[in-house]
Structure 1
Amino acid sequence: MTGRNAVKNYFGGVMGAARISLSALASIVLCSGWSFAADLPPPPEPAPPAPAWTFSVMPYGWLPALNGSTTVRGRTVDINASIDQVLDRKIPAQLFGMMGAFEARNGRFSFMGDLTYMKLGADGGGVRSVQPQVGGVIGARASVQVQMVVAEAAVSYELLRATSGDSETALDIYGGGRFWWQNMEAGLGLAAGLNVDGLVIGRGRALAKSGDVTWVDPMVGLRLRHRFSPKVDMVLRGDVGGFGVGSKFSWQAMGYVNWEFARTERAVWSAMIGYRALYVDYEQGSGHKLYQYDMLTHGPILGVTARF
């Protein structure tokens, strides 16, 4: 019995020591775990959300003047018509060009588009025939009617941005293409010595018609965007193109100011006023098949800008 009690007491002592050791180990682990948690680096911050797409739509009208010359069927007509001399006798309501611009932006990148349609006419003192080399007469009575579509598409990248209080300035570079479609009709007053080869005679006039003429110009440009205040901003842009690929050369300068006048849940509405100038020098064919358009179209623009 004595030996059995001794064994029992021995194992009891071992189990008691084990319980004490486990309690001590648990305390050490808990304390050590707190220390380890305190030494761990903080969890990484969540990544910022990806830039959201923003959109702007700008329908506007253009009141253009024409300065330059055009050659249709080898007959050249000089045009220096002010805004009040630019007429469309067939559709008097179309005394201007109707346009629409669009932009989709995401971060520094954006896609830009612009579509222009014009149906214009000019005559009187702003238009005269100057083609004596084909039998015409200098100063002969002339008139011009032109239908034209100009469609632009470009990708822009924001080079820099500076902010000071409510004002902000950004500079973009952009590149793309400009598509042209034209249909020109030049009316020449019949006069002695007028060469009528290739012309259509009717109602006392000789008409030179170009038919459909199309080409595409590459272009590259810069755009400055400046915000004066949360409700007023300005855009200035200029580009050059052609480079002999489509036209010989072309350039464009455009500037406008937006004034916010309304804000809804989905859009910000602004009135727009500015000025646009577009020049192109294009030529194809030769002799009586020569078509040439060397013209500066310029004038005020008025419209509305909606930002989404």
Structure 2
Amino acid sequence: MKNIICYVLLFTVSFQLTAQDISSDTSTTSKWEFDVAPYVWLAGSSGTISFLNQSANVDAKFKDVLENLKFGMFLHAEAKKGKWIVFGDLMYIKVEKTGNIELTNTATNIELKQTVAEIGGGYNLITTLDKWLFIDGLAGLRYFEIDNLVNVGQQQLLDRTINVTDPFIGIRFRTVSDKWTNGARFDVGGFGIGSNLSWKANFLVDYQFSELLSLSIGYQVYSIDYEKDTFRLDLVSSGFATGLNFHF
């Protein structure tokens, strides 16, 4: 039973990536500038899950998640005007696992659908005179919706939807050198309003091929501590991230 619960719930934070735009465009004109970035996060998860008075340790590699992924969509968008920033992010995954319980050899089907939507804004706090370093303050909301379905034999063991909205605040650093841009972002959220506490840190390197297109690659860590009723989630997800940035 612990294995079933663990497998269902380990995906709840496996793909929580908000791709940060680290475009090398550093202008502060009065015109709107837009970035659209499809991305992926090759994340594994570790931590503890408690459900129905049972606890299970999680140690899931990315390949375990990928083998059971049926559909995934990841998209980040950002608009800038002067020192102001507006951004949004949408992630949807569907994971399905079929198998048998070891002791009873009972057929089991597990399905998970997860949506994460983020919206926020920011302001450029510091720009050095040589336009090499940029520091932005960020704030926003992250919405999580997780739909779990578990069938064991002819019995429906679990059919539950969990949703939570987390406020967050953060900071972003960028350094620009010719076609290369380095970016780092850290935010913290939840504060007991949604989850107890959540935080995220990432570092990305971006290379600009043209005015239209650049490629980002980096590493991200995401942590969440969430509790509601008989459900408790304390997980850390981490892995490499990559995506294409289209600049308009």
User: Number of residue pairs matched?
Assistant: 213
Deviations 1:89-112 (A, max 9, x none): 373xx5xx5321111111111111
Residue aligning to 1:177: 141
Q: Relative to structure 1, is the Cα distance of residues 272 and 113 closer, same or farther in structure 2, using a 3 angstrom cutoff? A: same
**Larger of the two Rg values belongs to structure:** 1
1:72-87 pair list within 5 angstroms: 72-87=51-66
Say which of 268, 272, 282 aligns to 2:226: 282
Structure-1 separation of matches of 2:201 and 2:240: 12
Task: Calculate the TM-score normalised by the size of structure 1.
Answer: 0.62
In structure 2, do the counterparts of structure 1 residues 98 and 201 end up closer, same or farther at CA, with 3 Å as the change threshold? Answer: closer
8 Å CA contact retained: 2:88, 2:118: yes
Go from structure 1 to structure 2 and tell me whether the alpha carbon gap of 1:258 and 1:249 turns closer, same or farther (over 3 Å shift). Answer: same
- Determine which of 98, 111, 124 is the counterpart of 2:86: 111
Q: Which amino acid aligns with 1:283?
A: E
Match for residue 201 of structure 2? 253
Alpha-carbon distance, 1:57 to partner: 0.9
Residue 39 (structure 2) aligned to one of 49, 60, 67 = 60
Matched, 1:151 2:117: yes
Asked if 1 retains the 8 angstrom alpha-carbon contact of 2:117 and 2:144, the reply is: yes
Gaps of 5+ in 2: 1-27, 100-107
Q: Pairwise mapping of residues 112-127 of structure 1 onto structure 2 (< 5 A)?
A: 112-120=87-95
Instruction: Classify the secondary structure of the residue corresponding to 2:63.
Output: helix
Aligned partners of 1:184 and 1:209 also within 8 Å: yes
Pair 1:209 & 2:184 matched: no
Task: Find the partner of 1:295 among 235, 240, 244.
Answer: 235
Task: Give the direction of change, closer, same or farther, for the CA distance of 1:69–1:215 in structure 2 (3 Å limit).
Answer: same
The answer to whether the Cα contact below 8 Å between 1:58 and 1:303 also exists between their aligned partners in 2 is: yes
1:161 maps to a residue whose letter is T
Could you tell me how far apart the structure 2 residues matched to 1:163 and 1:122 are?
Answer: 54
Distance 1:64 1:145, change over 3 A: farther
CA RMSD of the aligned region, Å? 2.8
CA–CA separation in structure 2 for the residues paired with 1:275 and 1:250: 17
Residue in 2 that maps onto 1:102:
77
- The 5 A counterparts of 1:43-54 are 51-54=30-33
CA contact (8 A) 2:69 2:94 kept: no
| Aligned counterpart, 2:19 | none
Deviation at 1:208?
4.5
Distance 1:148 1:102 in 2: 19
Task: Please identify which structure carries the higher strand content.
Answer: 2
Look up the equivalent residue of 2:43 and give its one-letter code. P
Instruction: Give 3-state SS (helix, strand or coil) of 2:78's partner.
Output: strand
User: Which structure has more helix as a fraction of its residues?
Assistant: 1
Counterpart secondary structure, 1:262: coil
State the shift of 1:70 in Å: 2.5
CA shift in 2, pair 1:73/1:110, >3 Å? same
Deviation, structure 1 residue 175: 0.8
- Cα offset, 1:149, TM superposition: 1.8
TM normalised by structure 2 equals: 0.75
| Higher relative contact order structure (alpha carbons within 8 Å, sequence separation ≥ 6) | 2
**1:52 Cα deviation (Å)?**
1.1
- 1:219-264: CA deviation from partner (whole Å, max 9, x where unpaired): 00000011121x111221010000100100000112211111234x
Which of 149, 154, 167 matches 1:218? 167
Contact 2:69–2:96 (8 Å) recurs in 1: no
Identity value in percent: 29
Is there any run of 5+ residues in structure 1 with no aligned partner, and where? 1-48, 125-141, 187-199
Whether the aligned pair in 2 keeps the contact of 1:73 and 1:210 (CA below 8 Å) is: no
Task: Please give the alpha-carbon distance, in whole angstroms, between the structure 1 residues aligned to 2:200 and 2:127.
Answer: 24
